[in-house]
């Protein structure tokens, strides 16, 4: 058997909290003909995924119980055939409203820590991409030009002496992704999201780092600047018009400018696949199933 060059992953399916999802993704990559039937050797599979044979067998058992696989058949002493459940079946069994980010990556990203870190990073770029097109849709005329693409901004030159931020002036806008927003759609806590997107955490586990920047908006408010100078602090937490907390920070050592820190923008280096027809079909089938049950 030959190892597949790339594996198509669906971030919310891969990061659903069930380890057998890694095996399901790998087996789908072996099914180049799309028949749903895959034959493999347990030892070879364990070597490819970096786990034990016992773990592979446990994942198959869990997958059969939870609907990831339909049936398993022993062909010979060393060869097993398994029939995979379709993407639609897995999607409905997990009760998802979206498959999340879709990308083709190498097999090395299917490790336990690797898959979690990658799924979260791809979900972040997917969210900021959605935010960008939503903002562009709301704007009219020349205002559309004021919405900056976060994917391009993620690789732009940084502001001098503010290496971790991208600072813009009104009326420009850079849609990004917040930890709270990611937590809402993935079901993980904001602290878990923050840890997975932290490059120190990634380096400690020999994972690929991601390029990330914090979006900052320049403020022209003498009252806030005076309050900051009198406090003697380098930052201050305030509330915006919606009641959300915002961090104000001195832009440079001169203390003459303030920035309001907003969401983050990320760049993973992976190209996201749109697959619009497939997404629409899954959502349509899910809505029809819900209507039938009601």
Q: Kindly list the domain boundaries of the chain, sorted by start residue.
A: 7-117, 118-267
Q: How would residue 117 be classed by pLDDT, with cut points 50, 70 and 90?
A: very high
Average pLDDT of the chain is 85
Given the DSSP bridges, would you call strands 37-40 and 80-84 parallel, antiparallel or unpaired?
Answer: antiparallel
* Cα–Cα distance, 165 to 228 (Å, whole number): 19
* Cα–Cα distance, 77 to 243 (Å, whole number): 64
Give yes or no for residue 158 having a pLDDT over 60: no
Give yes or no for residue 4 having a pLDDT over 90: no
* Cα–Cα distance, 202 to 135 (Å, whole number): 31
SS3 content of the chain, % helix, strand, coil (to 5): 45, 20, 35
> Which residue, among 273, 271, 251, has the nearest Cα to 261 in the 3D structure?
251
Q: Please say whether the beta carbons of 84 and 38 come within 8 A.
A: yes
> Is 0.75 topped by the overall pTM?
yes
pLDDT > 90: what percent of the chain? 48
* Cα–Cα distance, 132 to 263 (Å, whole number): 13
The string of pLDDT tens digits covering residues 120-131 is: 999 999 999 999
Q: Please say whether the beta carbons of 248 and 259 come within 8 A.
A: yes
Tell me: cis bond preceding 171? Omega within 30 of 0 counts.
yes
Mean pLDDT, rounded, for 189-202: 92
Q: Which CATH entry fits the domain spanning 7-117: 1.10.3720.10, 3.20.20.140, 1.10.10.10, 3.90.76.10?
A: 1.10.10.10
């Amino acid at each position: 058997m030959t190892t597949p060059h790339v594996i198509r992953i669906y971030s919310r399916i891969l990061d659903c909290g069930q380890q057998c999802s890694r095996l399901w993704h790998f087996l789908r990559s072996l099914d180049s003909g799309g028949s749903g039937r895959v034959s493999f050797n347990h030892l070879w599979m364990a070597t490819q995924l970096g786990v034990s044979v016992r773990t592979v067998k446990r994942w198959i058992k869990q997958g059969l119980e939870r609907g990831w696989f339909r049936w398993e058949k022993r062909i010979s002493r060393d060869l097993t055939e398994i029939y995979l459940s379709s993407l639609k079946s897995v999607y409905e069994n997990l009760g998802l409203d979206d498959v999340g980010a879709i990308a083709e990556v190498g097999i090395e990203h299917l490790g336990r820590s690797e898959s979690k870190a990658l799924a979260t990073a791809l979900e972040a770029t997917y969210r900021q991409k959605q935010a960008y097109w939503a903002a562009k849709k709301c704007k009219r005329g020349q205002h559309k030009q004021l919405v900056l693409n976060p994917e391009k901004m993620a690789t732009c030159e940084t502001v001098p002496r503010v290496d971790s931020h991208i600072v813009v002036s009104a009326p420009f806008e850079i849609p990004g992704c917040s930890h709270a927003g990611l937590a809402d759609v993935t079901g993980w806590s904001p602290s878990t999201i923050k840890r997975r997107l932290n490059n120190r955490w990634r380096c400690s586990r020999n994972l690929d780092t991601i390029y990330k920047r914090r979006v900052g908006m320049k403020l022209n408010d003498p009252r806030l600047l005076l309050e900051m100078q009198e406090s003697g602090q380098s930052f201050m937490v305030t509330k915006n018009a919606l009641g959300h907390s915002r961090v104000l920070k001195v832009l440079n050592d001169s203390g003459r400018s303030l920035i309001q820190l907003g969401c983050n923008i990320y760049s993973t280096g992976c190209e996201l696949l749109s697959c619009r027809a497939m997404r629409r079909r899954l959502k349509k089938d899910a809505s029809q199933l819900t209507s039938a049950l009601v």
